[in-house]
Amino acid sequence: MKKVSLITVFCLALSCTPQIATQSSANPASVEVSFVLNRQSGSSSNQYAVWIEDSRGNLVKTIFATRYTANGGWERRAQSIPLWVSKSGLSGMARREIDAFTGATPRTGTQNYRWDGTDKNGNRLAAGEYRVFLEATLRGENRVLYSAPVTLGSGSGSPVEAEVMAQYFGTGTSERNMIENVKVVYRR
């Protein structure tokens, strides 16, 4: 009989992709991203992606992206998380690659994602400076980009809360509560 983890069962019930960080004594780094999602009514909203870039601005791993956008919604609605779409190379990805990080748009509530310090191929990355991004399409052309710097590979392994910056695009302000209380905590 094959063993199934409780996290996998929980994620299957919620239609999410489990993000289980593997820790080793050689590199115990991990990054946890959490925020509150307040789903908006209507179309052209509720799309988001969470990803990691290296210090040169290269995308090293997508942690999560909403399925609508990743499965072609970006072609029907160009305003749907455009920075991530551009950086990810989505148009050239194979279906199995996309399925590895996508999930249905979650329900309203706290969302939690974890990065284990690996690239998209599962290779452990070198110690150094990285940046976490969360881009969300609030409605139509209105969107927000959160970012936070993280340093992996040095320190005691105790948690550090990164400073999260928000940059808004567009003129609408009524949907700005779609993403709230963004926190990025990392262990070095």
- 81-139 tens-digit pLDDT: 899 989 998 888 888 888 888 888 889 999 999 999 999 999 999 999 999 999 999 88
Please tell me the distance from the alpha carbon of residue 75 to that of residue 85, in angstroms, as a whole number. Answer: 10
Q: What is the mean pLDDT of residues 146-164?
A: 87
Q: What is the mean pLDDT of residues 1-23?
A: 36
Predicted pLDDT of residue 181: 96
What angle (nearest 5°) sits at the alpha carbon of residue 129, between those of residues 125 and 134?
A: 90
Cβ atoms of 35 and 179 closer than 8 Å: yes
Please report, rounded to a whole number, the percentage of residues in the chain having pLDDT higher than 90.
Answer: 47
At which residue do the structure tokens 């996508």 appear? 102
Is the per-residue pLDDT at 6 higher than 70? no
DSSP string, 101-129: TEEPPPPSEEEEEEE-SB-TTSPBPPSEE
Predicted pLDDT of residue 179: 94
Please report, rounded to a whole number, the percentage of residues in the chain having pLDDT higher than 70.
Answer: 84
Predicted pLDDT of residue 105: 86
Delineate the domains of the chain, giving CATH numbers in brackets.
Answer: 6-187 (2.60.40.4070)
The two tokens of residue 163 are: 């400073």
Would you place residue 185 in the very low, low, confident or very high pLDDT band (cuts 50, 70, 90)? very high
Predicted pLDDT of residue 68: 84
pTM exceeds 0.75 for this model? yes
Would you place residue 28 in the very low, low, confident or very high pLDDT band (cuts 50, 70, 90)? low
Would you place residue 5 in the very low, low, confident or very high pLDDT band (cuts 50, 70, 90)? very low
Please tell me the distance from the alpha carbon of residue 58 to that of residue 87, in angstroms, as a whole number. Answer: 8
Is the per-residue pLDDT at 146 higher than 70? yes
